[in-house]
Amino acid sequence: MKKGSARVVEVVVPLALLLAMVVGAFAVGKYPLDWRDVCWLFWAKLTGTPHGFPPSFETVVFGIRGPRIAGALLIGAALAAAGAAYQGLFRNPLVSPDILGVSSGAALGAVLGIFLSLPVAAIQGLAFVFGLGAVALVYLIGSSVRGHDPVLVLVLAGVVLGTLFGSCVALLKYLADPYNQLPAITFWLLGSLAGANGGDIRAGVLPMLIGLVPLYLLRWRMNVMSLGDEEAQALGVSTRRTRLVVVAAATLMTSAAVAMAGVVGWIGLLIPHVARLIAGPDFTRMLPVAMIVGAAFLLGVDTLARTMTGMEIPLGVLTAFVGTPVFIWLLAAARRSWT
Site membership for other proteins, residue 328 (CB under 8 A): no
Closest CB to other proteins among residues 124, 223: 124
> Binding string, 268-307, against other proteins, x = CB under 8 A?
--------------------------------------x-
Confirm or reject binding of residue 31 to other proteins (CB under 8 A): yes
Which DSSP string corresponds to 19-31? HHHHHHHHH-SSS
Nearer to other proteins, 91 or 173 (CB): 173
Interface with other proteins includes 192 (CB under 8 A)? yes
Burial category of 93 from C-beta neighbours within 10 Å (exposed 0-12, middle 13-18, buried 19 and up): middle
Which of 214, 216, 213, 237 shows the shortest CA–CA distance to 227?
237
| Direct distance between the N- and C-terminal alpha carbons of the chain, in angstroms, rounded to an integer | 25
Dihedral sign of CA atoms 223, 94, 253, 141 in order: negative
Among 4, 55, 147, 236, binds other proteins (CB under 8 A): 55
Span near other proteins by CB under 8 A; candidates 151-159, 178-186, 271-279, 329-337:
178-186
Provide the strand spans (E) within 124-186: none
Is 312 near other proteins (CB under 8 A)? yes
Which CB, 81 or 193, lies closer to other proteins? 193
Residue 134 binds other proteins, judged by CB under 8 A: no
The packing angle between helices 267-279 and 66-89, to 10°, is 70
Is the CB of residue 196 less than 8 Å from the CB of residue 260? yes
Q: Does 178 bind other proteins (CB under 8 A)?
A: yes
Residue 84 identity:
A
Check: CB of residue 122 under 8 Å from CB of residue 250: no
Choice between 197 and 233, CB closer to other proteins: 197
Residue 52 in the binding site for other proteins (CB under 8 A): no
Residues that bind other proteins (CB under 8 A): 29-32, 55-56, 59-60, 63-65, 114, 117-120, 123, 174, 177-180, 183-184, 187, 192, 194-195, 197, 306, 309-312, 314
